[in-house]
């Protein structure tokens, strides 16, 4: 099968830049979210539509990112 509707974009979530990648394989949309630096994938979700997959992944990502603490250096 060929992945369809593949897209990658950067945006900010909870104050952190992230990369959101989504594609459709068969009938399922797969969405993964990675921090821009260092580039680790930390949230993902599937859905029947792009919007469903992305909103689920974004909800998880936002929750995880809110737990990241910053310290003064």
What residues line the site for another protein (CB under 8 A)? 1-3, 6, 8, 16, 18, 21, 23, 25-26, 30, 32-35, 37-44, 46, 61, 64-65, 67-73
Residue 68: DSSP 8-state: -
Rounded to whole angstroms, the maximal C-alpha distance in the chain is 49
Q: In this structure, how many other beta carbons lie within 10 angstroms of the beta carbon of residue 20? A: 20
Task: Please state the closest distance from residue 32 (CB atom) to another protein, in A.
Answer: 7
* 11 versus 68: smaller Cβ distance to another protein: 68
C-alpha span between 49 and 70 (Å, rounded) = 35
Task: Please state the closest distance from residue 36 (CB atom) to another protein, in A.
Answer: 8
């Amino acid at each position: 099968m060929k992945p369809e509707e593949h897209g990658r974009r950067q945006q900010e979530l909870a104050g952190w830049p992230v990369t959101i990648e989504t594609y459709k394989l068969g009938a399922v949309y797969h969405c993964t979210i990675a921090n821009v630096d260092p580039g680790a994938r930390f949230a993902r979700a599937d859905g029947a539509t792009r919007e469903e997959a992305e909103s689920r992944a974004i909800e998880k990502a936002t929750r995880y990112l809110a737990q990241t603490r910053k310290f003064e250096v």
